[in-house]
Amino acid sequence: MRISLSLLSLLLLAGCATIVRGTEQNVTVDTVPSGAQVQFSNGQTCTSPCGIAAKRNKAINVSVSMAGCQPQTAFVRPRITAGGGLLGGLPDLATGAVYDLEPSQLSFMLTCGDRE
């Protein structure tokens, strides 16, 4: 009976981070000057300042461009959270809920030529 109760408890806790944290995380981009085109390697785009929801377990490249300015790129990667693997176990590793995307807030200072 104790073994069955223990197994039931483990099954109930499995996927806990997936339920609490979700499998996606917001990634925001701000640029100076604003209005730059932002391209994410997962296919999403936006105009700064902006943000997207990205899968927690997938690394993404973020490219920023604006006419008359030098393009810039940053890398956002998943990192396992402290205690994340203990909280949810294998189901959360599979869904990516135990990861945090870092950095999740990006700021770019664009180098632009004469903008008259």
User: Residue 115 domain-assigned?
Assistant: no
10 inside domain = yes
Judge whether 116 lies within some domain. no
Spell 72-85 as b/e; 16+ CB within 10 A means b. Answer: beeebebeebeebe
pLDDT digits (tens, 9 = 90+) for 3-45: 555 544 544 444 565 567 789 999 999 999 999 999 999 999 9
Domain-located, residue 22: yes
Neighbouring CB atoms inside 10 A of 96's CB total 21
pLDDT at site 81: 81
List the beta bridge partners of residue 10: none
Instruction: Choose between 19 and 91: higher pLDDT.
Output: 91
Average pLDDT, integer, range 67-95: 80
52-56 mean pLDDT: 96
Q: Tell me whether residue 42 is in a domain.
A: yes
Q: Within a domain: residue 114?
A: no
CB of 37 within 8 A of CB of 73?
Answer: no
Domain of residue 62 covers: 2-109
Query: In whole angstroms, what is the distance from residue 55 CA to residue 25 CA?
Result: 6
Structural domain tally of the chain? 1
Is residue 50 in a domain?
Answer: yes
Give the chain's length.
116
